[in-house]
Amino acid sequence: MAVIVAFGDSTTAGTPGFQSPIEAPPDGEGNVESQFAYWLMRSHPEWRVLNRGVNGERSDQIRTRFLRDIADERPDVAIVLAGVNDIYQGRSAESVERELDVMYSAARTLRIPIVAATIVPYNSATADANARMHAVNAWIAKYAAEQPLWMAFADTRAAVAADDDPDRLVSSPDGLHPSPDGYRQMALALEPAVMRALARR
């Protein structure tokens, strides 16, 4: 069985419908369909996807957990989705990129393939916040394209964005997070990237 660890913030945890096993040990709590990990495992019973999302965490906080957990767990693949809370709190795109670079580089040192996911939109984002999110996401796409042997890119933002406004969620219970169907759409975007990453083991 392939072990995939998903590191991130609320959009990995499954907020607002689900609390991750880190937030509500040992198994999490709420609507299991409100997390992309559930949908990935539903499509691939041979995968064990560990939800390591924590609502509200910035990329620097995720990086602290990542460096410890990635070394301890040595998964077959690590999904990294981080940065929206940094942007929400007014931090720069460059600061998010620095934190992501540390995580990506640590995984490479351990020879663990990375799925690099993009920051998803939230409906109350200002034009400036959206510009910073787009900058980070463009950087993620470029970084992954330059490291094809150990990284796979997943555009999770596009997966949950409204057709008529790419800076808004197509479906959301609170304007900040995807609906369960949005998490399903995220899983559909992540699935081929995880498959590519597993093939590089």
Domain spans, the chain: 2-199
**How does pLDDT run across 142-195, given as a tens digit for each residue?**
999 999 999 999 999 999 999 999 999 999 999 999 999 999 999 999 999 999
Distance CA 146, CA 179 (A): 33
| 2-199 under CATH 3.40.50.1110, yes or no | yes
Question: Cα–Cα distance between 30 and 82 in angstroms, integer?
Answer: 22
Q: Residue written as tokens 């990294």? A: 80
Cα–Cα distance for residue pair 55/15, rounded to 1 Å: 7
Q: At what angle do helices 180-199 and 36-43 cross, to 10 degrees?
A: 60
Q: What is the pTM of this model?
A: 0.96
